[in-house]
Amino acid sequence: MTAAAASTPATATAAPMAGAAPSTVPQVVVEQPVTGAEGLKNAVASRSNTVGDVVDTLDSLALQVGDTRISVWDMAVITLVLVLVVTAAWAASKLAHRLLAGATRLDLTQRLLIEKMSSLVIWGIAILVGIDVLGIDLTALTVFSGAFGLAIGFGLQKTFGNLIAGIILLMDKSIKPGDVIAITDQAGNSTFGQIRRIGIRAVSLTTRDQKEYLIPNENLMINQVENWSYSSKNVRIQVPVGIAYSSDIVQAEELMLEAARKVKRVLAAPPPTAWLDSYGESSVRFIIHCWITDPEEGTGNVRSEVLKNLWHLFREHGIEIPFPQRDLNLRDGEAFRELVAAVRGKREADR
């Protein structure tokens, strides 16, 4: 049955009277309207004749497709019910969001998970209520539901996969809004930023240059994710530094620590440390380790401030920052001797 003014034929057979000869009574078709547009039309007509005439006029403007009859009145009722159901579901979702926002005993991940689950329940109930109000017979939609399920299986499998993946991420609390993550896709491209929102289909990741990436929820489950704030927001930053071989490495190390401690965002506990990493071709290589607790504010700016402070300290204390040096070996030969003779002849001529 449809929500239109469709009717279900029913047969009524008159019982034979006592003492009378049995006779065949013709079948009488009785209109039994379903709930929905027909029921609302009868309710309106019983209250006002004028409005009832308008409704009858709208109901007379109909389109007949096979056994299904759809009128302008049917479409108006369907539209009205859809608007009311969608509005009620949207208002209920907003109310649930406000109630959960005041639940201080729940953390952000739990509130977000409950909010999404309640939204799914609210919209599911709204759809069932709309079907019931329109008087749609679900048994008549068996073929359509089978085709719709097949379409979901093939066309919308990624959408439902992302929905389930988002719920799983919220349940195990591995990814939550506010986390700073670095994710590498299958092509090897890495994206670093802070999670702003976990939606039904994708996660909103905002980088330091305010670019917003929408990453499908499934990607966060099948790809490697580096979460900088999963169990703790403390992040260690490494700053490589090279000094000349002629420099005092003890003094240089003290200056490195001083340069790191001058940066406001660097934590005092755990304190900065400086490690001698290796002996390079042109320099003695150190690595300064310093800790921060706000990776969402970026790490490159902290590294820059440490290096700028160290530049001034090295210049004040005479610590040389080396540049690459190369030794040139020239092989002896006739061409080399001619070059040397030409240089000497030019020098003598200049004198």
Element (H, E) at 351: none
Q: pLDDT tens digits, residue range 60-118?
A: 666 665 565 666 666 777 788 788 888 888 888 888 777 777 766 666 666 777 777 78
Give the tokens for residue 14.
């008159």
DSSP state of 319: -
Q: How far apart are CA 47 and CA 36, in angstroms?
A: 17
The verdict on pTM exceeding 0.85 is: no
Q: How far apart are CA 137 and CA 2, in angstroms?
A: 7
Encode burial over 159-171: b for 16+ CB neighbours within 10 A, e otherwise: eeebbebbbebbe
- The answer on pLDDT for 321 being more than 80 is yes
Reduce the DSSP state of residue 317 to 3 states and report it.
helix
Average pLDDT of the segment spanning 291-304: 89
Q: Which CATH class name applies to 232-351?
A: alpha beta
For the beta carbon of residue 100, count every other beta carbon within 10 angstroms: 16
Q: Which residues contact 219 (CB under 8 A, 6 or more apart)?
A: 183, 185
Fold of 171-227: SH3 type barrels. (2.30.30)
For the beta carbon of residue 97, count every other beta carbon within 10 angstroms: 14
**Confidence grade of residue 241 (pLDDT, cut at 50, 70, 90):** very high
Please list the residues that pair with 202 across neighbouring strands: 216
State the pLDDT at residue 11.
41
State the pLDDT at residue 167.
80
Domain ranges of the chain: 10-14+23-148, 171-227, 232-351
Closest CA to 54 of 45, 62, 46: 45
Could you tell me if 233 and 195 are in contact, meaning their C-beta atoms sit under 8 angstroms apart?
no
- The answer on pLDDT for 302 being more than 90 is yes
Q: Which residues contact 83 (CB under 8 A, 6 or more apart)?
A: none
Exposed / middle / buried, residue 268 (Cβ in 10 Å: 0-12, 13-18, 19+): exposed
Q: What is the largest CA-CA distance in the chain?
A: 156
Instruction: Calculate the alpha carbon distances from 208 to 1, 80, 191, 230 in Å.
Output: 56, 46, 11, 19
Please list the residues that pair with 290 across neighbouring strands: 237
Instruction: Calculate the alpha carbon distances from 99 to 96, 112, 126, 139, 253 in Å.
Output: 5, 12, 20, 38, 55
